[in-house]
Amino acid sequence: MKLVSFAVGRSTCVQQRSRTMEGETVKLISAEGFEFVIDKKAAMVSQTIRNMLTSPGGFAESQLGQVTFPEISTPILEKICQYFYWSLDYASGKETEFHIEPEITLELMMAANYLHT
Amino acid sequence: MSAQKKRTFKIEAFKHRVELDPKYAEKTWKVLEHAIHEIYNHNASGLSFEELYRNAYNMVLHKYGEKLYSGLVTTLTWHLTEIAKSIEDAKGGLFLEELNRKWGDHNKSLQMIRDILMYMDRTFVPSSRKTPVHELGLNLWRDIIIHSNKIQTRLLDTLLDLIHRERIGEVINRGLMRNVTKMLMDLGSFVYEEDFEKPFLEVSASFYSGESQQLIECCDCGEYLRKAERRLSEEMERVSHYLDASSEVKITNVVEGEMISNHMQRLVHMENSGVVNMLVEDKYEDLSRMYNLFRRVPDGLSTIRDVMTSHLRDTGKQLVSDPERLKDPVDFVQHLLDEKDKYDKIISKAFNNDKTFQNALNSSFEYFINLNNRSPEFISLYVDDKLRKGLKGVSEEDVEVILDKVMMLFRYLQEKDVFEKYYKQHLAKRLLSGKTVSDDAERSMIVKLKTECGYQFTSKLEGMFTDMKTSIDTMQGFYASPYCEIGDGPTLAVQVLTTGSWPTQPSAPCNLPAEILGICERFRTYYLGTHTGRRLTWQTNMGTADIRAIFGNGQKHELNVSTYQMCILMLFNSADRLTYKEIEQATEIPAPDLKRCLQSLACVKGKNVLRKDPMSKDIAEDDAFHFNDKFMSKFIKVKIGTVAAQKESEPEKQETRQRVEEDRKPQIEAAIVRIMKSRKVLDHNTIVTEVTSQLQSRFLPNPVVIKKRIESLIEREFLERDKTDRKLYRYLA
């Protein structure tokens, strides 16, 4: 199964942003195979992803510009992408709430620990 | 994000699942181990970072952190042992390059490994107090590679050999050196210090010790310093290119110690090229170099300073005690000023205007100027000479400069009152003979003296100026009054001087010619008529006269002479030949003055209005004088000088000295009374110190004299001795 992120209705905001912002993009792939194309800058909010993309020696991720997360499900990865953009805005002074639905909290926490976010 | 507890809960759930596969840890580690091998073999491109990270992450989460960590240590150790072998095998010059290349590889691999094991670094390492991955890698590199038997000494020898080769002029690969020393620094500054810096400094010390020995034997001082300076800058350059910045101080210390400190004394005292030679020949560049180099080492500057001071003192002593120089006071002072200028220039050009050097210069001058007790007189004579004629056609600023320089010498004088005495005499002569060139310059000198020594010092000098002004008014009054009968008789210009302000010498008045006496008497009547209660005494030794003379072939000349000379010449109106004795009897001029006058009238070529028998340079008591009929001169006006700017003869000097001593007495007494008045009770030694410090600006009082003054004050009941302690004095109000 291969779907491009903007085909998923809920993630349009992500796609819109990536269109407006200049620069490189990376592809994050969920356990189910959903692909999220987001700005590299946003992805680098995660320390783990930053290492994956910048570590010397040419790992597969930095060569292809895509990272697969076999242990993160699509909704969680989507939420994470939203968080990346929210975090960038927050860092640049736009103080809004980031809403987290209670039922995904636990899984999100696990992913955050993994991604060192 | 919060929810710490929930996360812990979740991890336990994971643990359950893992137990299903007991070989999980082993399998995962195999994956990671393989990856590390691949990384070291430059084969990482096929690996998935995410997968490796996830594996490491899970191992730590599932409590296999310890296994992961020890596995890492073993794998790294194995790889480094391999690397050590390949470095050991590198041949000759390739050794450093191989080491450097492997170090680069290791660093890169280490970073990759650290990245994939980041989760372990973040959680497991701090909690179990292990060394972080990167540091672990460096430590292992240090222990396995750098400290391996075969590599450690070889590395050091190679580095030192390269540096030595560069020192003797070869070109080496500085980039490689830079990388290797940086590697040592990265391994920890103590590795750099122990494994490289310490032996490096030792080798450098012995190198420079040898080189300096060799250089000092064959080079002169300037040459040696040039080489030392170059070595020093070479070492600094070396540090900036490929050593750690912290080494700069250490290596320059070594060079300074070996090349400068150890040879300092020999360098400054080097014959024909040491400090003395540089000073004499104004070698600013060499001196400046020496200053900058010696400044770096302890006692360096004081060594130069000592040599300069002793040289200054020696030459100064020679200068002030050289009888040849003492013959011409103006030249003597000029020489002092030139010497001072020379050293001022050296200090400003070569010694960075160092205060301590300036002080040394000042103290040396003070020392030797006061060695000669005629210095005050000579300095005053110098000013006299400048103000009489030397300043003609010189701009005002230049006058100021010259006067300032004189003031600087004046400051060195300990016996400022002696200077005052002479200055007064010379000023009086200048004013009375109307020979001062510039009134402004005179006044500016007075102002300078005033700022230096206070009002008291110059009040009498200023009084002299006032007298000159009032005299002009008086003369105008005299000529307007009926007392003066205008006729063919001589014209008289009188300067009325206040006793006390002027340095009058009590000289027996000479016999004035009758022509003059008349008008003098008339002036006396006029003056005493307007100012009652005053007394006029004629100071014939200080006046001047213009007389008209007709010589043999009808030539007319106007002669400008002193009063004494006028008296002598007038005698020849009634006689053609007079003996010395006859002149002396007729004029009653004191013998030394008479001789001087006759000498200037008869013995100066071109101005010899008298002829002397026998012809000789000096005047003897049995000489005879003729009116010189054949006197010729291109000028109508002939000025016959008394030998001007005379330094004092020996008896005069003694006299002045005595008068100075007399003048000091009341000053010392005044100082004692001032001190005692405020302190009431004081012991002898303290009084002496206090008096000395109070009077220092004017002269250095002799303790014996002070003691005498105290005794005199006790006699006059200003003070008394304490009844119980005889050393104490009490002030009696």
Question: Residue A68's closest CA among A29, A95, A107?
Answer: A29
Residue pairs between chains A and B whose CB atoms are closer than 8 Å? 74
CB contacts of A57 in chain B (<8 Å) are: 39, 42, 44-45, 108-109, 112
Nearest residue of chain B to residue A83 (CA atoms): B1
d(CA B175, CA B172): 9
A68 and B48 within 8 Å at the Cβ level: the answer is yes
Q: Which residues make Cβ contacts (< 8 Å) with residue A105, sequence separation at least 6?
A: B3, B6
Q: List, as one string, the DSSP characters of B567-596.
A: HHHHHTTT-SEEEHHHHHHHH---HHHHHH
A3, pLDDT greater than 60: no
Residues paired with B720 in a beta bridge? B730
Check residue B203 and give its pLDDT: 92
pLDDT for position B20:
47
- Whether A48 sits inside 8 A of B3 (CB atoms) is no
> For B322-337, how does the pLDDT look when each residue is reduced to its tens digit (9 = 90+)?
777 777 888 888 888 8
Residues of chain B with pLDDT under 50: 1-7, 9-20, 644-645
Q: How many alpha carbons fall within 13 Å on the CB side of residue B144?
A: 24
Here the tokens at position B522 are 């008339």
Q: Which residues in chain A are closer than 8 Å to B48, comparing Cβ atoms? A: 59-61, 68
What is the distance between the alpha carbons of residues B526 and B454, in angstroms, rounded to a whole number?
38
H/E segment holding residue B538:
none
Q: What string of DSSP letters covers B318-342?
A: HHHH-HHHHT-HHHHHHHHHHHHHH
Q: Which residue from B552, B571, B562, B569 is spatially nearest to B632, judged by alpha carbons? A: B552
CA dihedral B490, B491, B493, B494 (to 10 degrees): 50
A-chain residues near B57 (CB < 8 A): 114
Burial B327-361 (b: 16+ CB within 10 A, else e): ebbbebbbebbebbeebeebbeebbeebeebeebb
What does each C-alpha distance from B551 to A113, A114, B548 come to in angstroms? 130, 131, 10
Looking at the DSSP assignment, which residues form a beta bridge with residue B729? B682, B721
Partner residue opposite B45 with nearest CB, options A63, A70, A110: A63
- Is A7 a residue whose pLDDT tops 70? no
Residue of A nearest to B36 (CA): A57
pLDDT recorded at residue B507: 61
Alpha-helix residue ranges (DSSP H) falling in B497-603: 514-530, 563-571, 580-587, 591-602
Contacts of B39 in chain A (CB under 8 A): 57
CB contact under 8 A, A55 and B49: yes
β-strand pairing of A66-68 with A34-39: unpaired
Return the number of other C-beta atoms located less than 10 Å from residue B703's C-beta: 15
- Residue B543, H or E segment: none
* DSSP summary character for residue B259: I
B108 in contact with chain A, both atoms CB, cutoff 8 A: yes
What are the CA-CA distances from residue B614 to residues A81, B571, B608, B622 (Å)?
130, 20, 14, 9
Q: Measure the CA–CA gap between B547 and B489, rounded to whole angstroms.
A: 12
Which chain B residues are within 8 Å of A52, Cβ to Cβ? 49-50, 53, 115
Distance CA B401, CA B407 (A): 10
Q: Which residues pair with B550 in a beta bridge?
A: B556
pLDDT at residue A10 in the model: 39
In Å, what is the CA distance from B548 to each residue of A80, B287, B383, B519, B555? Answer: 126, 63, 33, 18, 11
C-alpha dihedral sign at B175, B181, B182, B183: positive
Distance from CA of A53 to the nearest CA of B (A): 9
Distance between B241 CA and the closest CA of chain A, angstroms: 28
B165 Cα to chain A: minimum distance (Å): 37
Q: Which member of A52, A71, A109 has the closest CB to residue B49?
A: A52
Q: Which of residues 208-267 of B touch A (CB under 8 A)?
A: none
Q: Which residues of B touch A55 (CB under 8 A)?
A: 49, 111-112, 115-116
Q: Say whether pLDDT at A57 is over 80.
A: no
Considering Cα of B470, then B476, then B481, then B482, what sign does the dihedral take?
positive
Same CATH fold, B653-731 and B543-639? no
A109: chain B residues, CB-CB within 8 Å: 1, 3, 6-7, 10
- Token output for B633: 């001169």
Burial class (CB in 10 A: 0-12, 13-18, 19+), A89: middle
B543-639: in CATH 2.70.170.10: no
Q: What domains appear along chain A, each with residue ranges and CATH number?
A: 3-115 (3.30.710.10)
Output the CATH code of domain B17-146.
Answer: 1.20.1310.10
User: In B193-351, which residue ranges form alpha helices assigned H by DSSP?
Assistant: 198-218, 221-242, 247-255, 264-268, 275-280, 284-294, 300-321, 323-326, 329-349
User: Residue A94 phi/psi, 5° resolution?
Assistant: -95, 100
> Look-up: residue for tokens 């002029």?
B169
Q: What are B383-411's pLDDT values in tens digits? A: 888 887 766 667 777 878 888 888 888 88
DSSP letters spanning B685-732: HHHHHHHHHHHTTT----HHHHHHHHHHHHHTTSEEE-SS-TTEEEE-
Q: Would the CB atoms of A57 and B39 count as touching at under 8 Å?
A: yes
Chain A residues close to B119, C-beta within 8 Å:
48, 114, 116
Q: Domain-by-domain residue ranges, chain B? A: 17-146, 454-505+512-529, 543-639, 653-731
What secondary structure does DSSP assign to B77-146, as a single string?
HHHHHHHHHHHHH--TTHHHHHHHHHHHHHHHHHHHHHHHTHHIIIIIHHHTTPPPHHHHHHHHHIIIII
Which position has the token pair 């002045």?
B656
Say if the Cβ atoms of B108 and A57 lie within 8 Å: yes
Q: Is the dihedral of CA B619, B620, B625, B630 positive or negative?
A: negative
Strand positions, DSSP E, A15-117: 25-29, 34-39, 66-68
Hey, are the CB atoms on B45 and A47 less than 8 Å from each other?
no
User: Which of B47, B49, B105, B117 should we substitute to test contact with A (largest number of A Cβ atoms within 10 Å)?
Assistant: B49
Residue B181 near residue B231, CB atoms below 8 Å:
no
Using a CB-CB distance cutoff of 8 angstroms, which residues of chain A are in contact with residue B53?
48, 51-52
Least Cα distance to A74 among A12, A8, A16, A26 occurs for A8
| Domain B653-731: assigned CATH number | 1.10.10.10
B68 touches chain A (CB under 8 A): no
Q: Which of residues 28-57 of B touch A (CB under 8 A)?
A: 39, 42, 44-50, 53-54, 57
Are residues A51 and B115, on separate chains, in Cβ contact within 8 Å? yes
What interface predicted TM-score (ipTM) does this complex get? 0.81
Task: Decide: B162 and B177 in contact? Cβ < 8 Å.
Answer: yes
Name the residue among A57, A60, A63 with its Cβ closest to that of B112: A57
Of the partner residues B1, B44, B47, the one whose CB lies closest to the CB of residue A112? B1
> Nearest C-alpha of chain B: how many angstroms from A63?
8
Band of residue A6 on the pLDDT scale cut at 50, 70, 90? very low
Spatial contact of B203 and B158, defined as CB atoms under 8 Å apart? no
The pLDDT, as a whole number, for residue B164 is 92
Q: What pLDDT, on a 0 to 100 scale, did the predictor assign at position B376?
A: 85
The partner residue sitting opposite B10, judged by closest CB among A68, A106, A112, is: A106
